[in-house]
Amino acid sequence: MKVRVDPERCQGHTLCAMAAPDVFELSEIDGHSTAVNEDVPADQEDRVREAAKSCPEQAITIF
Ligand code: F3S
C-alpha cells in the first residue's frame, strides 16, 4: 500500500495525523499534512484507511 497527500487539497484539518501519526506529519509552517512514509507499513494500513476516510477535503489517496 502507498499513500499520498494532495497539497492542493489539504487544508490542515489534522485528522489524518491523529489517525496515523506514524505516517502523516503536519508542517510546522502551514499545518498541512505530508505522508512521511509513502510506503505504508502493514501494521499501519488500517490507520491510513481511516485517515483517508476522515479527511474532509479528500486529500489522501491510497494506491
Ligand atoms: Fe490535510 Fe486532510 Fe490531513 S485536510 S491535514 S490531509 S485530514
Best CA proximity match to 5, nearest among 51, 60, 54: 60
Range of the domain at 7: 3-62
5 CA closest ligand 1 atom index: 6
- Cα of 29 from ligand 1 centre, angstroms: 15
pLDDT digit string (tens) for 10-46? 999 999 999 999 999 999 999 999 998 789 999 999 9
- Angle made by CA atoms 28, 3, 13, in degrees to the nearest 5: 40
pTM: 0.92
pLDDT the model gives residue 4: 96
pLDDT the model gives residue 11: 96
pLDDT the model gives residue 59: 97
Confidence check on the interface: ipTM exceeds 0.85, yes or no: yes
pLDDT the model gives residue 36: 87
Return the residue whose CA atom lies nearest to atom 1 of ligand 1: 10
Q: Is 23 in the pocket of ligand 1 (CB under 6 A)?
A: no
- The tally of domains found in the chain comes to 1
Residue 57: HSE in the Cβ half-sphere, 13 Å Cα cutoff: 16
C-alpha cell at 1: 500500500
Element (H, E) at 15: helix 15-19
CATH code of the domain containing 39: 3.30.70.20
- Cα of 6 from ligand 1 centre, angstroms: 9
Element (H, E) at 51: helix 45-54
